[in-house]
Structure 1
Amino acid sequence: MATLAKMGRTVAVPLLAKRLGIVTKSVRCMAYWNKDWKPGPYPRTPKERAAAAKKYGLRVEDYEPYPDDGFGYGDYPKLPRISDEAKDPYLPYDTPHNKRFFGEPVHVDADAMTEDRWNPTRTYRYPMNQMRLWFIAVMSGFFFLYWLGNKYTIFNPAMPKAYPNDGKKHYTFESTE
């Protein structure tokens, strides 16, 4: 019975879909190519600068591209570093898990500034130098214990194997008769 059901799905459904004009398989992928996401060239003139600001949905006064230093950011806007954790959690975002509105430009480091990762605006309880010092101190302590453990190894003391009648044959497989 299961074979008939499987055969019916593989034969009848495509024929029915073809007769009704239903497309069962996607003909074309709806995603863009990476070249479509690539920023344009660095704006040199005020006209190019205004066109780039319009492209990213910014005012010309607010638009500032990254410097043309060879990193390849092109005309992408230099946005302030505000992580998702620092944004208001109660706003009705279009994409709530990223805390973004539709058409909002994304920071270059947005993949690193999600809620569970790096937050550049966060102030820590201890200064970074003190955290580094404690890290080095703890790791040095573990290294010292590792070195000490390798220098003075612990092993089970064992005597040589004790056999009865040492050096003499103490078993036989021949019959005594």
Structure 2
Amino acid sequence: MAGVVRLRTLVQGKANFHTMSVVRAAGSPPPWNYLWKPGPYPESEDAKMKAAKKYGLLYEDYQPYPKGSDMLCGDYPNLPLVPEAYRSSTYEWDYPEYKRDYGETPHVEWDKYRETRYTPPQNPILSIPYMLSCFFAVVGGLTLAIYYSYDNPWLPQMQQPRTAKQLYNPGVTYYTMEELE
């Protein structure tokens, strides 16, 4: 029976829920995220083979993140980034809302590149230096326009005329309570 799942506990003093592992008859990796928690960085070939099997990858395809990198992923595989928006919408996905198949190992930053979030441009039309030069040209042009138009008598000015402030001066009568004649 290929769909039968059996539980095998790893006994270390006492068996806890987080130390259980699931072995399927088909040999695919377990689908639960708490079981895919990255382990320590694989130093030996045997550790790399175990990590590749853990994540359901061929040994030739398994490549961990470089040791000492900022990712701190342990034995998690360095998979290519394919955002959700670039995946086929006509394919029969096991989870169509995520465009993922059952047992597929997700990218380490999979949640960042969902279809409702950021999708990096596939073939950007404009280069980064060109975009920066356009930005600085617009900001610089506006700055120069404001600088040269400030207090220019030939340009109409928006003004808000006001009277002088009416402050209290001692000895001056501003109003009286007497009736006018």
State the TM bucket, normalised to the shorter chain. 0.5 to 0.7
Letter in 2 for 1:88: S
Alignment partner, residue 47 of structure 2? 48
- What is the identity percentage for the equivalent residue pairs of Structure 1 and Structure 2? 34
In structure 1, what is the Cα distance between the partners aligned to 2:146 and 2:130?
Answer: 24
- With structure 1 as the length reference, what TM-score do the two structures score? 0.61
Query: Is this contact kept in 1: 2:85–2:119, CA < 8 A?
Result: no
- Superposed counterparts of 1:95-110, under 5 Å: 95-110=95-110
In structure 1, what is the Cα distance between the partners aligned to 2:92 and 2:125?
Answer: 31
Q: Which has the higher strand share?
A: 2
TM-aligned CA deviation for residue 60 of structure 1: 1.0
Alignment partner, residue 123 of structure 1? 123
In structure 2, what is the Cα distance between the partners aligned to 1:40 and 1:148?
Answer: 63
Alignment partner, residue 80 of structure 1? 80
Compared CA separation, residues 109 and 126, structure 1 to 2 (3 A): same
In structure 2, what is the Cα distance between the partners aligned to 1:36 and 1:147?
Answer: 63
Query: Is this contact kept in 1: 2:36–2:55, CA < 8 A?
Result: no
Q: Which has the higher helix share?
A: 1
Alignment partner, residue 58 of structure 2? 59
RMSD (Å), alpha carbons: 3.3
TM-aligned CA deviation for residue 138 of structure 1: 2.0
Compared CA separation, residues 172 and 157, structure 1 to 2 (3 A): same
Larger mean CA deviation between 107-116 and 70-79 belongs to 107-116
- CA offsets per residue over residues 70-116 of structure 1, 9 Å max, x none? 43111010111211121111112222232111221111232332234
Query: Is this contact kept in 2: 1:39–1:73, CA < 8 A?
Result: yes
TM-aligned CA deviation for residue 37 of structure 1: 5.6
Alignment partner of 1:157 is 2:161: yes
Alignment partner, residue 14 of structure 2? none
Match of 2:178 among 159, 173, 177: 173
Alignment partner of 1:39 is 2:41: no
TM-aligned CA deviation for residue 128 of structure 1: 1.9
- With structure 2 as the length reference, what TM-score do the two structures score? 0.60
Letter in 2 for 1:91: Y
Structure 1, unaligned runs of 5 or more: 1-33, 162-166
In structure 1, what is the Cα distance between the partners aligned to 2:174 and 2:86?
Answer: 84
Query: Is this contact kept in 2: 1:86–1:119, CA < 8 A?
Result: no
| Pairs aligned (count) | 136
Compared CA separation, residues 35 and 103, structure 1 to 2 (3 A): closer
Compared CA separation, residues 170 and 87, structure 1 to 2 (3 A): closer
TM-aligned CA deviation for residue 136 of structure 1: 1.9
Compared CA separation, residues 154 and 89, structure 1 to 2 (3 A): same
Letter in 2 for 1:173: E
- Superposed counterparts of 1:138-149, under 5 Å: 138-145=138-145
The structure 1 segments of at least 4 consecutive aligned residues displaced by more than 6 Å after TM superposition are: 167-171
